[in-house]
Each structure stands twice: as structure tokens, then as C-alpha cells.
Chains A and B, each alone.
Chain A
């Protein structure tokens, strides 16, 4: 009996120990993740100027968002940026990684560093540099076009269509090298024997790439696609610094829309509603992409 009475509390303490050890993370997770999300959700049902007591308005903010042309534009622009990220930046990063992984490539580290540098450059500097490059009157891009083709009147940042192209070019410049690093790491882990077997079977370069490299890179590709999707869906720095969302909201992203509503127009409830919509969209679509790419499922 005496053994039982002393072992009970001891066993109880032991069973709590693992939870106590992992509790700091979950406490912080609740404080800094779940609470803000819950507060955003509540705030989205109110009207609040940033000071004083928020007024409950129910689903009014969501109803207004549904008819807000500006928000629709932001959603459309963000979709374009997501497409650029997933359909242009990711494949390009893969091709560059493939090139950098070529055997016998000279000064390999120099090339790798060169591709990676843009991601560590301050966004402010990026905006300054590209602001000079894309200037309509005196910019480098138009000067080069003038020198080569005799015409260079492209209004890179002032024309709605070209402004989107400019943002896409900056995304390309900034993020391709970063994603290349992931693909490069993946390529270096593809067993050499697979390539040798493909060569013995008479596969050419393209065939080897599609039947050996791509399947072997599937987990890395899935990760890169999902993170690129989430990153592009929340794009802020490039349009904010380069075009301010203009001209005529042609480069306004959803995160910029949220920032503008909250910190320029003092419409915190409305901004929170837009943030909730963005959260739901990003969460839902990334889950869909996860399923499509089979992330987290054991391979047979």
C-alpha cells in the first residue's frame, strides 16, 4: 500500500513533465499567433479608427469588401504576382540550379553567390536602384532600349501594364537566386546512379531531366512552390517601395490594401476584415496546393 501511495503523485508528476517542457512554445504560440488571429477576427467585425472603443458592426466590413472595386483590384494584382512567382520564378530558379549544378562549371561559388546576393540586399536599396533603372525620362532601361532599338519611351512605373511588368521583373531579380539555393541542395542529393542508369538506357538530357531530376526533386519543388505561393500572396515591399500600389492601383497588392486601410485611412476594422479574407484564401489555397503536390504523404 505504501508503495502505491508514494508512486501515485510521482507518476502523475512524470506524466505532466513532457507537457511542461513543451509548454513554453505553445504559450508563446497562443500569445503571439492565436490571440492576434482571434483579435483580428473580432476586430474585423467592428469599426475602429485606432483609438477609443471599437463599434460592433457585424459582417458589414465583409459586405463592403465584397463590393469594393479597390479590393477586387488588389486581389487580381496579387493573383498576377502569385502566378509570376509560381509559374515564372520557380521554373527559372530550377533551370538556374540545374545550370549551376553542371559538372566542371568554373568559379561555381562565384555564380552561386551572384545569384543569391539580391535576396540579402535591402529592399530600400532595391527600390532606389530600380527606380533609377525604370525612370521614363532618364532611366537606364529606356537608355538601353534607345541605344539598341532607337525607341525607349516605355513608362515602366507610370503605365498600369508596364508597372506590373516592372514589379514582376523585380520579383524575378530578387527571388530567383534564393529559390535556386533550395533546388541546388535538392539536385546535389539526387543519387548519381540514377543518372548513370538513365545514360545506360540511352536517355538524352531532356529525358533525363524529366524522368530523373524532376521526380527526385518533387519534395523540394513542393516546398518551393508552397512557400513562393504564400510569399507572393503576401507581397508588400516591391510594390510599396517601387510604385506605391499605383498607377491607378494597378500594382496594389492585398497586403498593401490592408496597410493602406489601417495606417493611412485609420480603418482598422476594414483592414482586419481584408486580412481575414487574405488569411482564409492563403490558408485554403496552400492546403489545396499541399494536397496536389502530396506534401506530407509517405511515398510508396
Chain B
């Protein structure tokens, strides 16, 4: 028997090299997919909005109580488009994807291209059906934007109704009626107010660097009027009499001064216009109070009010929807089940939806929650103590669905350019819409 020889330096180096290579290869391998069914779990949450981070953090105790898991969150924040880009990059790498992810509504169409949604996202449809009454309780208008072929891939954060924000004090000072029934009457009043006081009552965004904002100004009124960009089958339906009517209405408003073009809803130009009283009202989604008005003009606290949009004489509803963020779960991961349970027990519970409104201002996506007396009782200081929720409840049945298409960014690019040309008078509304449809057909599907 010989004693085992001492390892030489070369042997040790080889061993170390082998171990480090093995470790590196292991690290490069795919995530473990042995599903966790209970116990401690750390969910990787990706979002663009710190408000959601805070909401989910606060929801942990309730989720712990209602599930078999004890949750911890590891949050990554990035810009809304970057969240999707990073997700796809990590998916290609085969590791490092999140468990729970928030898609800003304008970024979600990228997931609709090809079979990306089916490959990456957990299909929530069967789980919705498994909860008694949930399917009928969820607003179809808010599941539609995050669905594909009838399958739901994310739950919206909000029912972002479009309402009319206005300066109550200036409406009084200028002797303006607050209950004007139609946009057409409203525009007449607006032209007079602009002539006499230099103020405008409607805004269109002309920020070239953000096609989404330019389109949104038009989109809100188009959907209110009953038009749409895409139907449920993702076909372009923009070129319609409703669209022409709305675009003509905005173009005419720009000529009379009833409508003002502002480069950016959130930036310095809008802040200046609000502070100078050049904008005394505008149609916008309800979240604009928190993200546009309050940060830009905190000194106008108590002077703003909210009301339903006037109707168009030709028809349509008194609201629309604009914006939203859908939270989805990444499929085939160890934490998929835990993430799904977490989403259901924080995002979709009655208490969770009430809390979401009180903490973030986002409206519930379940019909039944609108009857909660706590929500109706809430008063809004920025809006002079106005009780906003009864108005929202009244508008709820009129919220139109919003269908998305993988070619949506193409539409936004071409539509934004043609809207600006129509606003400038370079194209008639009819020509702008025809041109948009033609440009879209040229670019879509390449």
C-alpha cells in the first residue's frame, strides 16, 4: 500500500479550472423548474411604476394568509418599454426572467407578436373560470387589452375612464355652464372663452417624440364617439365616419382656440399652460389627476373638479378608457404557481381592489367592488372634496372595450404623423385617415 500522492500544483490548477467551469456552466443553465407549492418564496417582480411596488409590498400579509406561501418580493424597476425588452432578452438567454411582470398597455402589443405571449406568459383563463363568479365580475373592457385569441394573459391595474377635468373657480369666473350636454355646445362656449379670456377647454398633444401621447388625445374622443382602432380580431377599423367626425371636431377646435396644442401632457409646456390659466379643462383618464395635475399645479389644490364628458350629437358614450397596466405571470418557472396565487390574492380580491383605489387611485376592474360603500364615501381633496366614485360608478357601464394588435405601434407611428398634419391644416381629416390606413397597410406585416 502506498499513501496517496500529494496533488501537484498542476493538478490543483486543473481541478480549480474544472470546478469553476462546472460552476459557470451551472450558472448559465436554465432556472430550476421544480414547482414550489408552499413555504417561503421570493418573487421577482418587474414594474415601471413604484406605486405598484408599494401596493404589492403591502399586499404580502393578505397573500400569506390566503395562500400556502410566505412571500418576499425582489423588485426590479425599468422604463415601460424596457421591461418588455429585458423580459425578451432574458427569455432568449433562458434565465433571469421575472415571476410577476407589469406591462404598460402600450408595450403589451409586443407580446402579441408571433407566439411570444403563449410561449412566455401563464394563461390565466382557466384560473379565472375556476373562481366562482369571477369571470362575470371582471370587466371585459379591461381584460380585452391583455387577451389574445380569447385567452387572458394579464390583469389590468385600472379601469382608466376618461372624464372631464375642469377648473371650477375659472368656470364660475367666466360664467360658463358646467352641465353642457354636448361637445358641440361645449365647443361654442370654448370658442367664446378663448376669445374673451385666452383660455382653452380641450388639449391635444403634439409631442413629436411620443407618438402615444399624440394618438391618445384623439383616441379618447374617438372611443367615446364609438369608433376604434382595431376590432376584436385585430383588424384595423380606424377609417370610419366616427373617426372623421372626431378629427374634424379637434381640427375645428384648434382654429377657434377651444382646443390648444400642447407639446407634452406632463412636461413644462403643460405646467405653464395650467399655471397661466391657458388650459382650464381637458378630457383625460382619471389617473391624470395624480400624474399630471397634482405634480404640475399643486397650488391649484381644491380648484379642480371632475365630470362626465359631454356627448357627441352624433352618438356614442360619455366616457372612454385610456391607459392601464396589466400584470402577468411567467410560465413554466418554479415560482409560477406562487406568482399566480399572489396575483389572485392581492390584485383581484375585493379588499385588494378597494385598497388599490384608496392607495393608488386606480379604479377596480371587478364590477362588484363598485358597490363598496367605502369607495363611494371617499372624498378627493384636490377636487375640492368632491366624491368622485359615484360618478365613476355611473360611467362604468359605458366604458368601451379596447382591443390591441401586434401592429399597434405601426398604427401609432403613422397615425401620429397624420394627426399632426391634420392639426396643421396640411391634410383634411378625411385625407389624414385615408393616408393613415394606406401607410398602415404598407408597413404592417413586413
Q: Which residues of A contact B (CB under 8 A)?
A: 49-52, 64, 68-70, 127, 131-132, 135-139, 155, 157-159, 163, 240-251, 260-261, 263-267, 270
Contact = CB atoms under 8 A, between A and B. Distances in A.
A6 B264 CA distance: 79
A49 B443 contact: no
Nearest to A239: B209
Given A69-B442, A158-B206, A249-B413, A136 B263 contact: yes
Contacts, number: 122
Given A52-B114, A131-B263, A263-B85, A246 B442 contact: no
A241 B406 CA distance: 24
Given A68-B443, A155-B424, A246-B416, A137 B263 contact: yes
Given A69-B439, A70-B442, 13 more contacts: A51-B115, A52-B115, A131-B209, A131-B267, A132-B268, A137-B263, A241-B209, A242-B209, A243-B208, A246-B417, A247-B416, A249-B417, A263-B81
Contacts of A131: 209, 263-264, 267
A241 B210 CA distance: 9
A173 B209 CA distance: 20
A266 B417 contact: no
Contact of B268 (A138, A159, A163, A261): A138
A267 B446 contact: yes
Interface string B83-112: 001001001100000000000000000100
A248 B209 CA distance: 11
Contact of A157 (B92, B208, B262, B442): B208
5 contacts: A50-B113, A50-B116, A137-B261, A246-B214, A246-B416
Nearest to A159: B424
B409 A265 contact: yes
A244 B116 contact: no
**A-B interface, 6 closest residue pairs, ranked by CB to CB distance from nearest:** A248-B417, A49-B114, A244-B209, A266-B113, A243-B208, A246-B208
A129 B92 CA distance: 37
A105 to B, nearest CB: 38
Contacts of A263: 81, 85
B180 interface: no
Contacts of A243: 208-209
B44 interface: no
A250 B263 CA distance: 17
B430 interface: no
Q: Chain A interface mostly helix, strand, loop or mixed?
A: loop
A264 B424 CA distance: 27
Interface residues of B, number: 45
A274 to B, nearest CB: 10
Nearest to A166: B208
A52 B413 contact: no
A146 B207 CA distance: 22
B273 interface: yes
Given A158-B420, A246-B420, A137 B262 contact: yes
A246 to B, nearest CB: 4
Contacts of A267: 446
B387 interface: no
B438 to A, nearest CB: 10
B418 A248 contact: yes
By DSSP majority rule, is chain B's interface helix, strand, loop, or mixed? Answer: helix
B421 interface: yes
A135 B446 contact: no
A12 B120 CA distance: 54
Contacts of A240: 209
B272 interface: yes
B236 interface: no
Interface in B368-405: none
A247 B113 contact: no
Interface in B49-95: 81, 85, 88, 91-92
B406 A260 contact: no
B260 interface: yes
B119 interface: yes
A59 B355 CA distance: 55
Nearest to B417: A248
Contacts of B267: 131
A127 B210 CA distance: 13
A146 B60 CA distance: 57
Contacts of B446: 64, 68, 261, 267, 270
Contacts of A70: 439, 442-443
Given A135-B268, A138-B268, A163-B208, A260 B420 contact: no
Contacts of A163: 208
Nearest to A248: B417
Nearest to B435: A248
Given A157-B208, A247-B421, A266 B116 contact: yes
A42 to B, nearest CB: 15
A49 B113 contact: yes
Contacts of B264: 131
A135 B113 contact: no
B110 A51 contact: no
Nearest to B276: A138
Contact of A51 (B120, B260, B269, B406): B120
B273 A138 contact: yes
A68 B210 contact: no
B269 A137 contact: yes
Nearest to A138: B272
Contact of A246 (B88, B116, B211, B261): B211
Nearest to B427: A248
A155 B425 CA distance: 13
A51 B208 contact: no
Contacts of A248: 417-418, 420-421
B409 A264 contact: yes
A158 B207 CA distance: 7
B170 interface: no
B41 interface: no
Contacts of A68: 442-443, 446
A266 B110 contact: yes
Contacts of A270: 446
